[in-house]
């Protein structure tokens, strides 16, 4: 179909560039090297910058997902995303090395294990051939938060224009989300709420704002302490929002119970 001349006053007219930039500035999280994060929205001292009373009221509907003990996340490469590259195996090798180096940076704080396998998988690593940019900046990568779904960890070309150490920092930020860290965690002051016992404010935090953000020893210690306190039952909520422990998609696929009719046959046979 041939496009017709655009009418003036279309319902799809955009705001001015300055207005759009202002909106993006209010909602976009910018971290290491000026990169934009799509995985989570801009962080505040409380989720969505809500007041204390509203959080208490809303706690029955919302929760903070974190991984349960002894979780293994199965992953694989999204093969179709690699077809346009001249050497897909080289791309895989590069990203596998980057993955390993990033996990080493998080060290013993990593709360889950990772296993590369085709089935059943919890997330795929996809590599895009086109950048994802707006007037406020470019997204380098995108990940997910803990839940029982199947997800993607996505890398955009702009990611690989960074120097190697910045690529690790970017991946470390996205893995922070995979581990359950949100941007508002990094902005929380321990004195802000009586029930708040997690988080050390550090402007350099990998989950915080600005070009100085990087993976710090404080990040590692906070993540370690977060899971220790959650798994021991000491920490059950953050800022009034309850914590819920999650199992991945593969957990339910691997431990699926027999349907009732087959279970009955099995019991009779035994």
pLDDT digits (tens, 9 = 90+) for 167-202: 999 999 999 989 988 764 444 433 333 333 355 556
Residue 68 has pLDDT above 80, yes or no: yes
Residue 206 lies in a domain: yes
Residue 192 lies in a domain: yes
Contact 190, 222 (CB under 8 A): no
| Model confidence pLDDT, tens digit, residues 143-153 | 998 999 999 99
Burial annotation 52-65 (CB, 10 A radius, 16+ → b, else e): eeebeeeeeeeebe
Least confident of 154-163, 200-209, 241-250, 258-267: 258-267
Least confident of 57-61, 139-143, 250-254: 57-61
Q: Are strands 72-77 and 36-37 parallel, antiparallel or unpaired?
A: unpaired
| Model confidence pLDDT, tens digit, residues 192-248 | 333 333 555 566 677 765 566 788 898 898 899 989 999 999 989 877 778 899 999
Q: What is the pLDDT of residue 115?
A: 97
Which residue(s) pair with 134 in the sheet?
137
Over the chain, what is the mean pLDDT? Answer: 74
Task: Output the DSSP codes for 243-257.
Answer: EEEE--HHHHHHTPP
Domain count, the chain: 1
Residue 16 lies in a domain: no
Residue with the larger pLDDT of the pair 194 and 119: 119
Q: What is the pLDDT of residue 3?
A: 46
Residue 6 lies in a domain: no
Residue with the larger pLDDT of the pair 32 and 262: 32
Residue 237 lies in a domain: yes
Q: What is the pLDDT of residue 19?
A: 65
Q: Are strands 64-67 and 241-246 parallel, antiparallel or unpaired?
A: parallel
Domain that holds residue 238: 23-254
| Model confidence pLDDT, tens digit, residues 96-118 | 999 999 999 999 999 999 999 98
Stated pTM of the model: 0.71
Residue 263 lies in a domain: no
What number of helices (H) and strands (E) belong to the chain? 8, 12
Half-sphere exposure of 96 (CA within 13 A, CB side): 11
The angle at the Cα of 120, spanning 118 to 121, to the nearest 5 degrees, equals 70
Residue 126 lies in a domain: yes
Residue 117 lies in a domain: yes
Q: Residue 242 maps to which CATH number?
A: 3.40.390.10
């Amino acid at each position: 179909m041939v496009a017709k001349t655009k009418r003036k006053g279309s319902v799809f007219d955009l705001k001015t560039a300055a207005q759009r930039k202002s909106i993006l500035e209010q909602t976009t999280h910018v971290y290491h090297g000026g990169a934009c994060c799509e995985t989570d929205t801009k962080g505040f001292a409380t989720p969505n910058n809500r007041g204390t009373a509203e959080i208490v009221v809303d706690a029955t509907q919302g929760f903070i997902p974190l991984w349960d003990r002894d979780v293994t996340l199965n992953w694989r490469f999204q093969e179709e995303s690699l077809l346009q590259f001249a050497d897909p195996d080289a791309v895989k090798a590069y990203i596998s090395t980057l993955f390993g180096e990033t996990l080493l940076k998080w060290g013993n704080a990593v709360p889950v294990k990772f296993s590369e396998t085709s089935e059943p998988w919890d997330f795929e690593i996809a590599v895009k051939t086109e950048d994802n940019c707006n007037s406020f900046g470019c997204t380098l990568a995108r990940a997910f938060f803990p839940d029982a779904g199947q997800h993607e960890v996505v890398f955009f070309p702009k990611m690989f224009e960074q120097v190697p150490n910045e690529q690790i920092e970017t991946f470390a930020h996205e893995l922070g989300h995979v581990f359950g860290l949100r941007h508002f965690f990094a902005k929380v002051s321990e004195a802000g709420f009586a029930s708040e016992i997690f988080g050390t404010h550090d402007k350099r935090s990998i989950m915080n704002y600005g070009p100085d953000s990087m993976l710090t020893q404080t990040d590692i210690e906070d993540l370690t302490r977060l899971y220790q306190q959650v798994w021991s039952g000491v920490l059950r909520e953050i800022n009034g929002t309850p914590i819920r422990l999650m199992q991945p998609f593969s957990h339910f696929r691997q431990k699926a119970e027999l349907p009732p009719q087959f279970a009955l046959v099995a019991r009779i046979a035994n």
